[in-house]
Amino acid sequence: MPSTQKNRIFSAMQPTGSLHIGNYLGALKNWVDLQNSGGYNCIFGIVDYHAMTIDYDPRDMPKHITDLAIDYLSAGLDPDKSTIMVQSHVPEHTELAWIFNCITPMPELERMTQYKDKSRSNKTNPNVGLFSYPVLMAADILLYKADTVPVGEDQTQHVEFSRIIARKFNNRFAKIFPEPRTLLTKSARLSSLADPAKKMSKSLGEKHYIALTDTPAEIKKKISSAVTDTGPSKRVELSSTSEDPERGAKRRVEGKMSRGTKNLFDMLEVVSPLGTHKELMDEYKKGTLKYSDLKSTLADAIINHLKPIQEKRKELEHDHDKIAQILIQGAEHCQKIADKTMEEVRNKVGIR
Ligand code: TYM
């Protein structure tokens, strides 16, 4: 088990079905790198209480939890180096969330952009859990006194909120919580393939994302139909040959790269061998890049990158006992830390 002297990382994902490459490149890959750096004491959660804030089928939940644990392990999380846990296995997450609810000003939650987006698209079930979602997230982080939270860009407002809550608690009761900081990767916000103005997300539909479990044929198909330039910039794509390099270069140096193209380059930078990204970026700047080359290079790089992860997944898929054992160990480790924090918290808020 990890030592307790190092800075503590807590991060988590919702068990809502298969992960997409945005979850992986925006967060999970970074978790593996941070774990392997040896510089942190890491806890990674499977946040099932959070997954109850949107419509879900209770029969799917156990499978989604196991699947997410398999995704974590296949991507390279190692239970000998990191703790992997299920949020509901340590009920103190919700106890602390309640105490935080009582020091959270309503306007702080009303301004959360993810709540506004989700409640707009979830009109049939705009529940209180969805509203106070960031409070539970603050409890997840602070229960373990984590100071570092590696997430994608869409979660930065929530991490900032947990800083506010830590500060409020420390000022009101006693200084016991650190103020956690966000850690972002280069691909902290991958866009949808089919509509690059939007964040890559499963809820948009199949053609918008690459699932970690997609086959090579599916990956090729999705990348080849990814939107690069739209509207007037489409002309850049067609005329971006050596006939007009000056104009092409000028437009691009001015930062006119479309979101769709940037999205493909962002992925390429992380999954391709050293040098490939630079080579294609140089061509882009000269105006000689063919988007079909960019797409086929990227598709191959993603396929190669995901291959060992998919192979590991196949090995683990049927080993449910091993997964259950890892999650029990994770719960035991986390329970000890949670007990300690909650004893302090209960004492300071006057309920023990
Ligand atoms: P969730 O399950 O929505 O997403 C998991 C992680 O994936 C990142 N992510 C992305 N990164 C880049 N590009 C994208 N298109 C993209 N889509 C998703 C998310 O930023 C996230 O890091 N609230 C959290 C779960 C949570 C949590 C926590 C995280 C609960 N408690 C405590 C950190 C600490 C969430 O819903 O993530």
Residues 48-72 have pLDDT tens digits of: 999 999 889 999 999 999 999 999 9
Residues 6+ apart with CB under 8 A from 65: 15, 46, 48, 86, 327
Q: What is the mean pLDDT of residues 185-192?
A: 92
pLDDT at 94: 98
DSSP code, position 196? T
Q: What is the mean pLDDT of residues 286-291?
A: 94
**Protein residue closest via CA to atom 22 of ligand 1:** 151
Question: Using CA atoms, how far apart are residues 155 and 136, in angstroms rounded to an integer?
Answer: 13
Question: Using CA atoms, how far apart are residues 30 and 216, in angstroms rounded to an integer?
Answer: 23
Active-site option among 29, 199, 222, 295: 199
Average pLDDT, the chain: 91
> Is 233 a residue whose pLDDT tops 70?
no
3-state secondary structure of 149: strand
Are the C-beta atoms of residues 71 and 117 closer than 8 Å to each other? no
| Gap from CA of 347 to ligand 1 centroid (Å) | 32
| Gap from CA of 156 to ligand 1 centroid (Å) | 9
Stronger pLDDT, 240 or 308, i.e. the higher one? 308
Ranges in the chain annotated CATH 1.10.240.10 = 202-313
pLDDT at 252: 42
pLDDT single digits (tens) 323-342: 999 999 999 999 999 999 99
Q: What is the dihedral of CA 217, 186, 26, 266, to 10 degrees?
A: -20
Question: Using CA atoms, how far apart are residues 131 and 109, in angstroms rounded to an integer?
Answer: 7
* Closest to 165 measured CA to CA, from 146, 152, 179, 145: 179
> Is 268 a residue whose pLDDT tops 60?
yes
| Gap from CA of 13 to ligand 1 centroid (Å) | 6
pTM for this prediction = 0.92
Is 202 a catalytic site residue?
yes
- Ramachandran angles phi, psi of 82, nearest 5°: -130, 155
Residues in the ligand 1 pocket, defined by CB under 6 Å: 10-14, 22-23, 26-27, 47, 50, 137, 140-141, 149, 151-152, 154-155, 158, 188-190, 199-200
* Closest to 88 measured CA to CA, from 4, 15, 163: 15
Ranges in the chain annotated CATH 3.40.50.620 = 7-189+320-349
Question: Using CA atoms, how far apart are residues 65 and 22, in angstroms rounded to an integer?
Answer: 19
User: Which homologous superfamily is 7-189+320-349 in?
Assistant: HUPs (3.40.50.620)
| Gap from CA of 23 to ligand 1 centroid (Å) | 7
- Ramachandran angles phi, psi of 140, nearest 5°: -55, -45
Is 118 a catalytic site residue?
yes
Q: What is the mean pLDDT of residues 204-218?
A: 96
Active-site option among 81, 145, 168, 202: 202
pLDDT at 240: 39
Question: Using CA atoms, how far apart are residues 127 and 351, in angstroms rounded to an integer?
Answer: 28
Domain 202-313 adopts which CATH fold?
Tyrosyl-Transfer RNA Synthetase (1.10.240)
| Gap from CA of 155 to ligand 1 centroid (Å) | 6
> Is 116 a residue whose pLDDT tops 70?
yes
**Protein residue closest via CA to atom 33 of ligand 1:** 11
* Shortest-distance atom of ligand 1 to CA 154: 20
